[in-house]
C-alpha cells in the first residue's frame, strides 16, 4: 500500500515538475517494487520509455496501461466491442490478444489497445457480467448491499439513481418482475450501511461514500498547498525517507 500512496504523489509531481531530481529513479523503484512478482516488468518498463524517454508523465501512463494488459485482465471498448478479457500478451512485438464477446482472439498493438480501451477492475459490474453472471445472481440473494455497492462503484463517480440502478441490475441479474420486492427489502438494509446514502424523491440518488482520507490523499493535498517547487521537492524527499525507514 505504501507504494501506491507514494506513486500517486510522484505522478502529481511528474505533471507539474517533470525534471525534478530523482523523479525518474523513484518511479522506477516503485514500479519494480509493486510488480516484483511480474516476470515481464522490465520489458514493460523498456517499452514505456520510463527509463530514458523525454516525457516522464506519458511514460508512466503508458506503463500503467501496459500493466493492465496481463492475461485475465478485463478491458472495455466503449464504442463497439464491449467488454473483453486479455487472453495473451506478446511483449517482444508489443501485441495483446483480447477475447471480446463478439470478437474473439482479437489482436491489437499495445499502443492501439491503450488508445481505444479502458481497464475494468475485477469486480466492476460489466466485468462480472462478462463471465460471472451466476455469481452476481447469487450475491443478489445473499448479500444485497454488496451488489448495490458493486453497481454504484462501477459508475465511476460513485453515484447513481435508483432508476439507473434498477436498469443495471435487471439486465441479466434480477428479473424485472422481482425488482420492486427486491429493492424494498434491499433498501432497508442499505439505509443501515454507513457507506451508502440514499436521497429523497421518486428517483433518489444512491451514493457510496468511501472511507477516511488515505495517506496518499493527505500527502497530495499537502504537496499542492506548498508555495514553490523547491519546498515541494523537499517535501517529497522527506516523504521517501519516511517510507524507506518505515516499510
CA atoms of 40 and 60, how far apart (whole Å): 16
> Would you state the pLDDT for residue 239?
61
What's the confidence (pLDDT) of residue 186? 96
pLDDT digit string, tens, across residues 139-186: 999 999 999 999 999 997 889 999 999 999 999 999 999 999 999 999
Q: What is the C-alpha to C-alpha distance for residues 85 and 17, in angstroms, rounded to an integer?
A: 36
Rounded Cα gap, residues 67 and 70, in angstroms? 6
The residues near 90 (Cβ < 8 Å, ≥ 6 apart) are 96, 97
CB 223 within 8 A of CB 20: no
Q: What pLDDT tens digit does each residue of the chain (247 aa) get?
A: 567 778 888 888 888 877 777 888 999 999 998 888 888 889 889 888 899 888 899 899 888 878 888 888 999 999 889 999 999 988 778 889 999 988 999 999 988 998 899 889 899 999 999 999 999 999 999 999 999 999 999 997 889 999 999 999 999 999 999 999 999 999 999 999 989 999 988 899 999 986 544 455 555 555 555 555 666 566 666 666 655 544 4
72 closest CA partner among 151, 127, 147: 127
- As a residue count, the chain comes to 247
Q: Are 74 and 83 in contact (CB under 8 A)?
A: yes
pTM of the complete model: 0.70
Amino acid at each position: 500500500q505504501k507504494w501506491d500512496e507514494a506513486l500517486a504523489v510522484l505522478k502529481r509531481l511528474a505533471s507539474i515538475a517533470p525534471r525534478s531530481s530523482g523523479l525518474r529513479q523513484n518511479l522506477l523503484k516503485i514500479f519494480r517494487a509493486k510488480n516484483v512478482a511480474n516476470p515481464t516488468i522490465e520489458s514493460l518498463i523498456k517499452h514505456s520509455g520510463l527509463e530514458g524517454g523525454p516525457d516522464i508523465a506519458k511514460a508512466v501512463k503508458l506503463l500503467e496501461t501496459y500493466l493492465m494488459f496481463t492475461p485475465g485482465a478485463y478491458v472495455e471498448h466503449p464504442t463497439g466491442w464491449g467488454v473483453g478479457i486479455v487472453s495473451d500478451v506478446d511483449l517482444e512485438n508489443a501485441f495483446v490478444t483480447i477475447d471480446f464477446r463478439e470478437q474473439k482472439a482479437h489482436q491489437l498493438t499495445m499502443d492501439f489497445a491503450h488508445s481505444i480501451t479502458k481497464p475494468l477492475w475485477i469486480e466492476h459490474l460489466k466485468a462480472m457480467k462478462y463471465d460471472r453472471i451466476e455469481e452476481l445472481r447469487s450475491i443478489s440473494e445473499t448479500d444485497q448491499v454488496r451488489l448495490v455497492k458493486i453497481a454504484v462503484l462501477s459508475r465511476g463517480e460513485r453515484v447513481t439513481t435508483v432508476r439507473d440502478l434498477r436498469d443495471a441490475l435487471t439486465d441479466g441479474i434480477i428479473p424485472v418482475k422481482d425488482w420492486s420486492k427486491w429493492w424494498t427489502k434491499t433498501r432497508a438494509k442499505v439505509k443501515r450501511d454507513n457507506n451508502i446514502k440514499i436521497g429523497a424523491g421518486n428517483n433518489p440518488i444512491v451514493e457510496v461514500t468511501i472511507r477516511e482520507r488515505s495517506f496518499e490523499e493527505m500527502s497530495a493535498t499537502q504537496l499542492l498547498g506548498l508555495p514553490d517547487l523547491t519546498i515541494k521537492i523537499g517535501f517529497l524527499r522527506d516523504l521517501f525517507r519516511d517510507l524507506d525507514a518505515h516499510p
